[in-house]
Structure 1
Amino acid sequence: MNTATHDIVAKLWNLCNVLKDGGISFHQYMIELTYLLFLKMAKETGTESLIPEGYRWDDLKTKPESEQLEFYKQLLNHLEKDGSVIVKAIFADAKSSINRPNTLSTLVNEIDKLDWYNARRESIGDVYEGLLEKNANESKAGAGQYFTPRPLIDSMVHVMRPTLEDIIQDPAAGTGGFLIAADRYIREYSDPNSWTKKQKEKYHTNTFYGMELVSDTHRLALMNLMLHGLDFNPQGTGIRYGDTLSSDGKNLPPATLILTNPPFGSKKGGGLPDRKDFDFSTSNKQFCFLQHIYLGLKPGGRAAAVFPDNVLFESNVGRQIRTDLMDKCNLHTILRLPSGIFYAQGVKTNVLFFTRGKTEKGNTKEVWVYDLRANTPQFGKRTSLMRQHFEEFETAFGDDPFGSSVSLAKRTDTGEKGRFRKFSRDWIAERGDNLDISWLNNESEDDNNNLPEPAILAQEAIGELEAAIAELQGILQELGEEINF
């Protein structure tokens, strides 16, 4: 992110702090900002033709403060019904949380006077992506569920090596980070100016697919994709609004590459997914998404997906799904991730890398496990996760995204004192197909000298309590109960 972009992100986010007295939460602010930035960025990028005349940025900006808020609410209602496909999708069911005229006028005036020229010279999409990252880091409760750290996304994309020929899918798309990173990778390693007309048509109509269940998050995703130059069609490319664990997900086209970080927990209300193609029924969302991923791959297709530890060891239906995965796919690599990289500090996660076989049985012969968790700093606000933290893993992984037997034979098992080890399919079967494999003594957990200062521990505890309170408030709101704390 260049200096001009960084400055704009900081100034826009500081507006949130200024306007908290207006009753706007972090999440509401981000949604509100999406509406306003769409109007402003359409002007800055010369795409105002997407928006009906009379409802553009200058129309809003020039309204007297006494009329501006009422006009703004009319504008939101109008754009839901009129304009281009992307406009109607972003403004679908749009509602403003702003109730004070001076709150809106402050937002409009401050957004208007920012240095958009210098940001436009680089990538105006980076401004928006920077705001999404700020939202995930600052708001704690919930936002981190749909924002995967950029260094992890970039590392996963790098080892999976997307190409111009791929059909790429993220069934839990969040704000679109994986699809945007895949697009960036393809354009970096394949010059778009050299593409044929047929390749360009395929790229824009049959390359990027995603699905997002939460309407406000879907809105953020559409804005993010649009600013990064990716197309959207409600029935085709782009991120669709729907439930992957219903027939919506079954209608996503088979993919040659899936990159994703599915949500954790159980399906809302404890219900079972409405997917007739799933062989194993469970309310556990992670296992449902895992089935969707390996069933959604074309033969020879590959996937990299983030899952919590319980997916590796849960018994009963969990074991059945892992066995089915290793039968249908070559589960060649597991990356044990460090703690603290997601919003829920206690959640331990892994990346599973696998390739769909051309037969339905016996595709996994060996599983390589890279332990990036043991004796690694706990990441968070004090220690930032950086791309270089994945460099040794990427080297050990190699340059074959499919994990073929030839490429696996070139890998080096580093032994009990190293981070990268090989385990045979027979050995894994003997332990009940339990893939929660660790061998390094985590000295950082045993050494009391490595504990943070008491004040830092207290701050972290306060943060977790605030997040828990916010989640409880959300539950009460869903139940229609009055909040008294």
Structure 2
Amino acid sequence: MGTGRGSAGSASMSGMSGIPPQGGQLERHWTAESIVRRWWEFYNYKTSIRALTKIEFAEHIAYLLFLKLDHERANRPGKFASRPVAPSIDTWPHLVERGGEDLHSYLARTMRTLGTPTPDNQRRTTASVLFHDAQPWNIDRMSELRQLITEEINPYRWAQVPDGELGRAFAQLLSDCYDDMLKKRQTGQFLTPPPLLAVVAKALALTPDDRIIDPACGIGSTLIAAHREMESHGTKVDDSAIAGADIDPQMCRLATMNVLLNTRRLFAGIPPIQRSDSLSRKVRAIQRQDRDVAATVALCNPPFKSTDAAVDTTHRDDFWAPKADLPTNFLQHIAITLPQGARAAVFAPDSVLFGTGAAATVRRNLLLNCDVHTLLRLPTGIFRGTNAKANILFFTKSAPRPSGEPATRALWVYDARTGNHRTDTGNPLTEDDLSDFLAAYRPDDPDHSSRTPSRQFKPYPVADLLARPSASLELWADLTENQQDLGSPRDIAASIVAELNSASSSFQAVVDSLAPGQ
């Protein structure tokens, strides 16, 4: 199947998706919607779905696009050509001509070469993140992989796809893998709605001069939103402007390709993502591999996992509360490691705002050492498949005051939650839904002196906050506190089922770890 270019199968798929076969400059007219529709049509009609998850399919799209684009750029005419990142300029043609076990072994060898960082080849540092531990899909399904290569990737000139469309297509591909993401609930992975991230990037008043970090970047959506906001100023954004890290190799590889395609970065440039456990060492929020660039902004939606110690923080003598849960640890890690004057927007579940013990210690120190100026209470239902109640804390790292006064003067609370439940199918969150928040926040007023209270926006003096039991930040504006919309009975039931499935998996892992007779 799919033994050559321009086969009947390829023409048929082109007609279904609305993308014409290669011919001259036709790729310049492709849209993100038509591209991603084509990919999913191949997945649904040409692959053995039970043998390949959606997220595994998305990973292979990333591998093949990287190799194909690398080949196209190496074969541009004259001075426009770039040295290939792949082992040779013929890596892609050799891949195209193979099938069966030969294809499997050749692709596995190529992945292994690119996934192994070498000090003498700095041009492969980005590739080493993308291809780390990468493997071709099942050797018994090589005919399907060959079809994907010869019919869906090789016949087209992907470098000619309009700026932004290929990146948007890949981001949508990842978004469509949401069910697979939910299976990673034990690691706390959630997909953040892009419209929300766009609003947060605007609230942070990002400019091309900023340096943005995310120490728990997931698939890189926060960094892409930040990059787009910086680009909106009409000035070129430097490759060192964004940097992310994640402990999950799969998230790192998906984030790497997501950022590469959405920011038009060079494949041989500075890696946008690094594999690391951000919480395990006393270092800056993220260290660059080429040079140390001080971050000016942190934008992070950390894992919302609150049970079981996820990392060893015994070496974090800088932590205010080393035995905190995962989201609280990320909050204090960012607050402690950011340079003075840096801004931050950190997502936090409700438990971080009013939990006792370690959470209370972190809140108190946060108010004392940072200007925690804004709390945005988010609508329920924005994280599909969960009943998580989320918030965003906006703060600025401040220098200690000789007088001992708290760095925070007043915390403004914007309540976008009360009576506001969202779903990504019926009534998804849009940027317009948060336009009132953005207007009240006043990104153009860094001192927040021109803010005015309203029914949804209310300031709390820091003295009152520190006087509250455990310095609780369970705060509301002037809306009725008990009007919480938790969603429809179906939404609640689905969330309960997801939690039970997650608990069942955890108990099964315990059972599997016990020796017979224990």
TM-score range, shorter chain: 0.7 to 0.9
One-letter identity of the residue aligned with 1:216:
Q
Give the direction of change, closer, same or farther, for the CA distance of 1:169–1:440 in structure 2 (3 Å limit). Answer: same
Deviation sequence 1:418-462 (CA, Å, 0-9, x none): 21111111222332221111242378757xxx975x7xx28x745
Q: Is the 8 A contact 1:140 1:467 kept in 2?
A: no
- The DSSP-based 3-state class of the residue aligned with 2:38 is helix
Q: CA deviation at 1:65?
A: 4.8
Q: Is the 8 A contact 1:141 1:468 kept in 2?
A: no
One-letter identity of the residue aligned with 2:272:
G
Deviates more, 1:472-481 or 1:6-15: 472-481
Give the direction of change, closer, same or farther, for the CA distance of 1:42–1:385 in structure 2 (3 Å limit). Answer: farther
Please name the residue that 2:52 is paired with: 24
Q: CA deviation at 1:58?
A: 2.9
Q: CA deviation at 1:266?
A: 3.8
How far apart, in 1, do the equivalents of 2:482 and 2:510 lie?
A: 43
Q: CA deviation at 1:368?
A: 0.6
Deviates more, 1:140-149 or 1:342-351: 140-149
How far apart, in 1, do the equivalents of 2:501 and 2:68 lie?
A: 35
How far apart, in 2, do the equivalents of 1:428 and 1:237 lie?
A: 41
How far apart, in 2, do the equivalents of 1:65 and 1:251 lie?
A: 45
When normalised by structure 1's length, the TM-score is 0.83
Deviation sequence 1:38-79 (CA, Å, 0-9, x none): 223334555671212266333222224564333323332333
Q: CA deviation at 1:386?
A: 1.2
Give the direction of change, closer, same or farther, for the CA distance of 1:103–1:64 in structure 2 (3 Å limit). Answer: closer
Q: Is the 8 A contact 1:339 1:345 kept in 2?
A: no
Give the direction of change, closer, same or farther, for the CA distance of 1:183–1:422 in structure 2 (3 Å limit). Answer: same
Please name the residue that 1:197 is paired with: none
Please name the residue that 1:11 is paired with: 38
- The DSSP-based 3-state class of the residue aligned with 1:85 is helix
How far apart, in 1, do the equivalents of 2:179 and 2:50 lie?
A: 22
Q: 1:387 aligns with which of 431, 445, 456?
A: 431
Q: 2:452 aligns with which of 412, 425, 434?
A: 412
Deviation sequence 1:318-358 (CA, Å, 0-9, x none): 11211110111111100000111114421100010011112
Q: 2:251 aligns with which of 217, 222, 236?
A: 217
Give the direction of change, closer, same or farther, for the CA distance of 1:134–1:45 in structure 2 (3 Å limit). Answer: farther
Please name the residue that 1:440 is paired with: 479
1:49 and 2:84 correspond: yes
Q: 1:281 aligns with which of 292, 306, 322?
A: 322
Q: Is the 8 A contact 1:338 1:374 kept in 2?
A: yes
Equivalent positions of 1:51-450 (< 5 A) are 51-53=86-88, 56-65=91-100, 67-81=102-116, 84-99=124-139, 100-112=141-153, 120-123=161-164, 124-136=166-178, 140-142=182-184, 145-192=189-236, 203-205=238-240, 207-227=241-261, 228-230=263-265, 238-247=272-281, 249-250=283-284, 252-253=286-287, 254-266=294-306, 269=309, 272-273=312-313, 274-360=315-401, 361-400=405-444, 402=446, 404=447, 407-408=448-449, 410-414=450-454, 418-432=455-469, 433-438=471-476, 439-441=478-480, 445=484
Give the direction of change, closer, same or farther, for the CA distance of 1:69–1:107 in structure 2 (3 Å limit). Answer: same
How far apart, in 2, do the equivalents of 1:231 and 1:327 lie?
A: 42
How far apart, in 2, do the equivalents of 1:49 and 1:330 lie?
A: 47
Please name the residue that 2:24 is paired with: none
Ranges in structure 2 where 5+ consecutive residues have no aligned partner: 1-28, 75-81, 288-293
- The DSSP-based 3-state class of the residue aligned with 1:189 is coil
- The DSSP-based 3-state class of the residue aligned with 1:145 is coil
Please name the residue that 2:23 is paired with: none
Give the direction of change, closer, same or farther, for the CA distance of 1:3–1:64 in structure 2 (3 Å limit). Answer: closer
Give the direction of change, closer, same or farther, for the CA distance of 1:477–1:73 in structure 2 (3 Å limit). Answer: farther
How far apart, in 2, do the equivalents of 1:443 and 1:14 lie?
A: 46
Q: CA deviation at 1:269?
A: 4.4
One-letter identity of the residue aligned with 1:431:
R
Q: CA deviation at 1:106?
A: 3.0
How far apart, in 1, do the equivalents of 2:144 and 2:496 lie?
A: 30
When normalised by structure 2's length, the TM-score is 0.78
- The DSSP-based 3-state class of the residue aligned with 2:480 is coil
Please name the residue that 1:195 is paired with: none
Give the direction of change, closer, same or farther, for the CA distance of 1:427–1:126 in structure 2 (3 Å limit). Answer: same
Ranges in structure 1 where 5+ consecutive residues have no aligned partner: 193-199
Q: Kindly report the root-mean-square deviation, in angstroms, between the aligned alpha carbons of the 2 structures.
A: 3.3
One-letter identity of the residue aligned with 1:84:
R
Please name the residue that 1:196 is paired with: none
